[in-house]
Amino acid sequence: MKTRVTELLGIEYPVIQGGMAWVAEHNLAAAVSEAGGLGIIGAGGAPAEFVREQIRKVKEVTDKPFGVNVMLMNPEADAIAQVIVDEGVKVVTTGAGNPAKYMEMWKAAGVKVIPVVASVAMAKLMERGGADAVVAEGMESGGHIGSTTTFALVPQVVDAVSIPVIAAGGIADGRGMAAAFMLGAEAVQIGTRFVVATESIVHENYKQQLIKAKDIDSAVTGMSTGHPVRSIRNKMTKEYLRMEKEGADFMELEKLTLGSLRKAVVEGDVVNGTVMAGQIAGLVKKEQPCKEIITEIVDEAEKLMGNR
Ligand code: TUI
């Protein structure tokens, strides 16, 4: 399954792990890279020095390529951008904003830059700015989302840019991967299925919540604040949506979700915490090692695409 993305990144399979805040730490990233995909450390809202330690820990266990995701709303994004250069990280993905101001320093350091985008306009802007590829992420995804579905977004982005496109949002098996390739994608980014990987350090309650989730069990909060976030419906999302309907202001809503992702991922509070997950959670049925997840997905996709 060689594509421009496997060539660009020097990886065996065109499977990239989502840069999920709190979830995508060194154990998961190293396991995905060791399995032949591209593991990603999700910097999320973490301090720059924490990200540096995570990078060093991945390097201790694997020589394979891995990347770092910079969540651009992090107040420490500038410092993290520098840590990436200092530590010789080869691949960066970005989310929740426009990485233009870091492009020059990253390109000068030989870092491959792959912004996550949710629109054609943003994809074109990133290509003009020197991006090596883009992740086109549909609103089926967990976490911070745009408003277009993967099925509509990916082919439109593919037609609009000449750099490789990586599809994300609603992909968790070989059927999804094959479908993404039919739309013109040259790799897939997968989040939700890796959350329940054996190597994922996410609290057991969080994993079970995803494993038992059905197709309609997620909700999108934050539409009114301009920061829509998809997570599994629970007491927190119900309260949030009720407050939004009543016209609560930004600060009031912020209070409800401050530290709430950590609460779910680390403490296992899946009632009051934010259990970010994609709409595809209903397809994710069991915990498996990253190697098994990747092999299963790639084998199934290859069969469907008639490669073997
Ligand atoms: O970034 C993500 N997903 C995320 S980030 C995150 S951490 C967080 N936690 C609570 C509230 C908000 C964030 C959890 N999940 N995906 C990539 C993505 N990027 N989706 C959408 C976008 C995006 C949105 C607007 C990219 C660019 C953009 O442009 C804005 C601009 O500056 O023009």
Residue 294: φ, ψ to 5°: -65, -45
Lowest mean pLDDT among 172-181, 200-209, 247-256, 277-286: 247-256
User: Closest ligand 1 atom to the C-alpha of 44?
Assistant: 7
Count Cβ atoms within 10 A of the Cβ of residue 268 and give its class: 0-12 exposed, 13-18 middle, 19 or more buried: middle
Helix locations, the chain, DSSP H: 4-9, 26-34, 48-61, 77-86, 100-108, 120-128, 150-160, 174-182, 192-195, 204-211, 235-245, 250-257, 260-265, 290-304
The ligand 1 site (C-beta within 6 Å) comprises 21, 44, 71, 95-98, 116-118, 122, 137, 143-146, 227, 229
Q: What is the mean pLDDT of residues 270-292?
A: 98
95, 90, 92: which is closest to 122 by C-alpha? 95
Complete edge-to-edge strand list for the sheet that includes strand 229-232 = 143-144, 229-232, 218-221
pLDDT single digits (tens) 87-145: 999 999 999 999 999 999 999 999 999 999 999 999 999 999 999 999 999 999 999 99
3-state secondary structure of 62: coil
d(CA 195, CA 203): 10
DSSP state of 185: -
Q: What is the mean pLDDT of residues 274-294?
A: 98
The C-alpha angle with vertex 25 and arms to 288 and 300, in degrees rounded to 5, equals 35
Ligand 1 geometric centre to CA of 116 (Å): 8
Please report where in the chains the tokens 């989302």 appear, as a residue.
Answer: 145
Nearest CA to ligand 1 atom 22: 96
Q: Residue 205 pLDDT more than 80?
A: yes
Q: What percent of the chain has pLDDT over 70?
A: 100
Residue labelled with tokens 């990586």: 166
pLDDT of residue 306: 92
The answer on pLDDT for 47 being more than 60 is: yes
Q: What is the pTM of this model?
A: 0.97
If you measure from the C-alpha of residue 304 to the centroid of ligand 1, how many angstroms do you get, rounded to a whole number?
32
Q: What residue owns the CA closest to ligand 1's atom 1?
A: 95
Which atom of ligand 1 is least distant from the CA of 135? 17
Give the whole-angstrom CA distance, residue 228 versus residue 262: 18
Beta bridge partners of 68: 41, 92
Asked whether residue 4 carries a pLDDT value surpassing 70, the answer given is yes
96 Cα–ligand 1 center, Å: 2
Give which of 125, 9, 12 is closest to 66, Cα–Cα.
9
| Cα(128) to centroid(ligand 1), Å | 20
Cα 229 to ligand 1 centroid, rounded to whole Å: 9
| pLDDT computed for residue 307 by the predictor | 72
Among 144, 166, 265, the mutation site with the greatest number of ligand 1 atoms within 8 A of its Cβ is 144
**CA nearest neighbour of 3 among 167, 200, 235, 147:** 167
* Average confidence score pLDDT of the chain: 97
Under the banding of pLDDT at 50, 70 and 90, the label for residue 308 is low
Upper half-sphere CA count for residue 34 (Cβ side, 13 Å) = 16
Residue 176 pLDDT exceeds 80: yes
pLDDT confidence band for 304 (50 / 70 / 90): very high
Residue 15's closest CA among 281, 275, 193, 282?
Answer: 193
**Considering only CA atoms, which residue is closest to atom 30 of ligand 1?**
97
Give residue 105 CA to ligand 1 midpoint distance, Å.
22
Task: Report the separation in Å between the CA atom of 159 and the middle of ligand 1, taken as the mean of its atom positions.
Answer: 23
Nearest Cα to Cα of residue 150 among 212, 94, 230? 230
In this prediction, residues 154-181 reach a mean pLDDT of 98
Q: Which of 282, 275, 286, 263 is nearest to 196 (CA)?
A: 286
